[in-house]
Chains A and B, each alone.
Chain A
Amino acid sequence: MNSNHRMVGRRRSSEAKQYDMLLRVLLIGDSGVGKTCILYRFVEDDFTMSHISTIGIDFKLKTVEVNGKRIRVQIWDTAGQERYETITKQYYRRAQGVLLVYDVTSEKSFTNISKWANDVDEYAPEDVERMLIANKSDDRDWRVISKQQGQKLADLYRMSFFETSAYRNVNIKEAFLALTNNIIRRQGIIPAPDNSCVKDGKCIHDLDMDLTAGDVTPLTDTEETKTGACSACSVV
């Protein structure tokens, strides 16, 4: 009987072909901003309150679907402690995407973003896709960095921007999907239809989160949804 089953493995033509494409995405930022929690939330859909500082480089894999294509994203979680900085930098050069994470309750983690961004400039590939992540958005009591400040910084660095909460599972999936989408669009792996950002040498529009319906639920407070620089241009 089993042998009968063996062959019925094919799919109808409408079926999306499995993409075994692999993207590498790096999580960086000060110790304690929640990088490991973000990874854990995205991959395992879970959260722990305790902070066990990452001492090394960890990675996990998750298959996502963007524009009907399946993409395997390998997410590298780095140690944020300052003393490991010189070593972790060495991992940048293989990344296609970088999530620069700060903690909205920590001013220092926010100001340090400039340092992390410089490191990315110096050590990551030139066309790496960057995204600024303001984590712990759930923690209203201790918030010291407003969303506007974060957005402004993202604009300055021409990065896309998401406020997230690994704790409340807000925008985690969305951030990763947007980043993945930006990477594949930028690298022209799957050209998005009618989305040529640059015309006559000028950027014609801001980044639109052109994700397939269902892939991304934008931030609920719509005014603030708009992300910063056009990702397709930010490198030019």
Chain B
Amino acid sequence: MDPSGPVQQLLSQGEKCVSAADAYLVQGRARVSRVAALVETETAFGPNFGFFMFGTKRMPVQGSDLTLVTVIPVKEDFAVEVIDDPSQDLLGSDVPVKVCGSGQVLTLNLPFGSKSGNFLTALRRAISIYTSQPPAEVFQPFAWLEKYELMTATADRSDWPWSGTGLDAMAAEIVTEGFEDNFADSLSFDDAASLASQQDLGDSEADGSGLEPVNVSRGGSASTMGSMMANPPSVREPIVKMYMLKEEAKYTHLKTFRIFAGTWNVNGQPATESLKAWLAKDSTPPDLYAVGFQELDLSKEAFVFNDSAREEEWVKAVTHGLHPEASYRRVRLIRLVGMMLLVFVRSEHNKFLSQIEAQTVGTGIMGKMGNKGGVAIRFDFHNTSFCIVNSHLAAHTEHYERRNQDYSDICARMQFNLTQPPLTIHKHNVVLWVGDLNYRLSDIEISEVKALIEKEMFWALMEHDQLKRQMNERSVFKDFKEASVNFIPTYKYDPGTDDWDTSEKCRVPAWCDRVLCKGDSVSAVEYRSHRELKLSDHKPVSCLFDIGVKVIDEDNYKRVFEEVIRKLDKLENEFLPSVSLSCVDLKFERIKFLEPQKKTISITNTGQVPCQFEFICKLDEKEYCKPWLNVQPSLGFIMPGDSYPIELEIYVDKNTAGRLNSGEDSLEDILVLHLDGGKDYFVTVQGDFIPSCFGSSIEALCNMRGPIREVPVARLVDLEAGSPSETSPEDSFSTLPIPKEIWLLVDHLYKHALCQEDLFQQPGLHSEIEEIRDCLDTGMPDTIPGQPHSVAECLLMFLDSLPEPVVPHQYYQSCLDSCTRFELCEQLMSQVPEHHRNVFKYLTAFLRELLKYQDDNKRDPKMLAMIFGGLLLKPKPDEAKRQNNQQTARRRATFIYQFQVNPYDG
């Protein structure tokens, strides 16, 4: 099929696919199936061309199967060159072509044939048009290609090992290179990776997507990448075929069949003679007949309309002439003007014939009329492929080169499309070529010819035979064989007699009618002419062959087939991405508030393919890990054998400390590490959190007489749950009015820092802050360590990490609303729960006290109000985002300010 149609579907308006061809891109030892196309658009300065190359999903292609992989503008650096490769001169083999441009050099193999020829011609024409145009800098003609270049930038993932195209390479490699190799060795790394990636495809085909407990978050590049890959074609089937082919010897054996191949130029005569003398001369009936005629019909109708009245009578004559001791089925009939080919098979063999296809090639006037040329029938008989050609080549003694050319044309243009890729004549196991090949005797007088015939010195005459000479020069029928000719020339007789031509032209006798063969285990049994048949000016010729045909042994076939499937399964499993983790169970000890701890695990790619890993979300979760955990990096790419370090950091901040202190949450998480196209691994992270007064609630702390670390965890949970002391008698009598931690901090500042400049503004020392925190959590010190700034910052942090702020969330909005009127503020505060109210009272009293020493500490009341407003009054976390603007900040400050300037004692 011509791929230019599908290519055209992908182009924009005004752009035209001038020519397109199937091609193989040669990549090292592999060949990858591609479609090459020449695209034209009209510019103000004349036509403008681009060379396009597409990846294909399947054959024959449709527009949607094509993925653009390369675009090269046809300009000064563009060149096309047919590579001379002496090893490739076999007619019908692919033509290697080098295409260069835009810094790329591509080696393509174009299938032999006129389609490829036309494509090359079109490319050359495009180059010559370009050179006749003004220089490109002047008129910038290639802007239209930019959109395509962009497409290729995103589409061509062929460098990714799992790209679908690798599979073509796999298939191609097995065909072209892998035959002698060990089974697994012939699989390159790329190939099997693609096979594995096919797995993914399988998933998505089955019901939309893989086993997907997750969707990608925090990045999501993996899925993007996945979707960018072209879907690999359904590749397993062809690969199975390739492997089966490779193992053919294991399940086939040769069985010899007798095949009759005959040819007769009947000179337009009606079928008035019985053909038994030609077709059924021997005692054993052949297994298969291939019977070719030329000049079956010389009428005008046959020539112009390929419509023949003679066809039927000759078919009948042949049918009646077949060997009477066997029954035959007609396999196929093909006729082009006067050339007809019939194939019959003994009925019992019919079921072993498959993939039957007939084609014609005309080489007459204008290179296509059917008065000369060839017709062919191909089929598979058991496991051996046959191609039978019947041809009538150009006439006249002097035109032997024309005959050679007819032969080449037939070889080049005869193409069978049932199989993929399409087949030419030479790609068959057995080729039988019959016909009026029209080669004559050269350099010899007619009298001498007749004298030699008289003496039956055919071998001497054969030295003058043009066909033999041309074959010896390897100018025609290369690799064909012919049995030795031991019969007198078959041309030219006076019709109805055995007399040589007596017309005025008085032709020199010649062996025009021949039977040639090509293939292993083909041997000629009997090559002869049949002089009994007289109606034509030619005598019919036949050659009996014994041909070894590969017959399948069912049991072995099944065994090998299962073996192949097993091996493919094994390969697929082996090439699944796989890693090992240095640790899957991380335990962090003594995690403290605001003190990050890190551990590193390493991922090693233990598989045979590069792998892409990513930590993925569990169902119904938005993040792949808990908020107190951070994983760096959360996705990456590892080559086989390489390792990749992953850092896991636990960091408990005010957002998470509350729930951890209260026992609502614990430091426990399971991460799911997903490999693209592969398995999932679980990594358990556990941390042992040391409770802190930071992040604990005011109520809970008021119920603790001792430091938090001395309180049993179970009791902590109870306290946070709001069930106060019905416990031990010694502390049951009372709760503290305010958390002792606040009292300790504030009292320290009161005693030592009232005159401290920049208090609550200059940051403390990190190490001192940790020390103070530990001190508050572990014991009741007489003095708080550290300088005033550290103590002050600690106080602020403490207030900031309260799960419920000093002014509880529920009063937040009312406080803002009434912040301008102190009585209302006071009234609101009276509703606040006791311990919170106590803390509030205590803190505001301290602020008022602090402001008495304004001269020394240079504290600005508004600034303090701002700081404490933001800590004592907080919206609910989920409302914080919406509200946190300057205006609310000012109102919060105003609220606190009221208590700084007005006397207040609850």
Contacts and interface: CB of A to CB of B under 8 A. Distances in A.
Partners in one complex: yes
Residue among A5, A7, A20, A61 having the largest count of chain B Cβ atoms under 10 Å: A7
B758 interface: no
B882 to A, nearest CB: 33
B207 interface: yes
A74 interface: yes
A84 B682 CA distance: 8
B902 interface: no
A60 interface: yes
A191 interface: no
B269 to A, nearest CB: 38
B199 A57 contact: no
Nearest to B214: A90
A72 B245 contact: no
A90 B385 contact: no
B145 interface: no
B584 interface: yes
Nearest to A10: B355
A99 interface: no
Interface stretch (B236-244, B303-311, B703-711): B236-244
A3 interface: yes
Nearest to B382: A12
Size category of the binding interface on chain A: 35 or more
Contacts of A3: 93, 426-427
B207 A79 contact: no
Interface in A7-62: 7-10, 12-13, 18, 20-24, 43-44, 55-62
Contacts of A21: 206
Contacts of B212: 94
Main secondary structure of the interface of A (DSSP, over half): mixed
Contact of A87 (B242, B352, B584, B672): B672
Contacts, number: 121
A12 B352 CA distance: 7
Nearest to B619: A90
A70 interface: yes
Contacts of B552: 12
A57 B681 CA distance: 6
Contacts of A202: none
Interface stretch (B434-442, B565-573, B747-755, B761-769): B565-573
A72 B573 CA distance: 12
Contacts of B570: 44
Interface in B20-71: none
Interface string B366-390: 0000000000000010011100000
A60 B244 contact: no
Contact of B573 (A4, A9, A24, A43): A43
Contacts of A74: 199, 202-203
B205 A22 contact: yes
B421 interface: yes
Given A6-B421, A9-B244, A94-B212, A20 B176 contact: no
B429 interface: yes
A10 B385 CA distance: 10
Contact of A8 (B352, B385, B426): B385
Contact of B213 (A5, A8, A10, A91): A91
A87 B202 contact: no
A18 B236 contact: yes
A6 B175 contact: yes
B684 A83 contact: yes
Contacts of B576: 59-60
B234 A20 contact: yes
B419 interface: yes
B176 A61 contact: no
Contact of A9 (B202, B242, B352, B572): B242
Interface in B608-627: 618-619
Interface in A80-94: 83-84, 86-87, 90-91, 94
B433 to A, nearest CB: 16
B747 to A, nearest CB: 47
A222 interface: no
B787 to A, nearest CB: 47
A8 B202 contact: no
A169 interface: no
Interface string B205-245: 11100111110000000000000000000101110111011
Interface string A84-120: 1011001100110000000000000000000000000
Given A6-B427, A90-B214, 15 more contacts: A6-B421, A7-B428, A10-B380, A18-B240, A22-B203, A22-B205, A43-B569, A44-B570, A55-B682, A56-B679, A56-B682, A61-B572, A74-B202, A83-B684, A87-B213
29 contacts: A2-B175, A3-B426, A4-B428, A4-B429, A6-B423, A6-B427, A8-B248, A8-B385, A9-B238, A12-B352, A13-B354, A20-B205, A20-B236, A22-B203, A24-B211, A56-B679, A56-B682, A59-B679, A60-B576, A61-B199, A62-B569, A74-B202, A87-B213, A87-B672, A87-B682, A90-B214, A90-B618, A94-B207, A94-B212
| A-B interface, 10 closest residue pairs, ranked by CB to CB distance from nearest | A90-B213, A9-B241, A56-B681, A22-B202, A57-B680, A90-B619, A94-B211, A58-B679, A56-B682, A22-B206
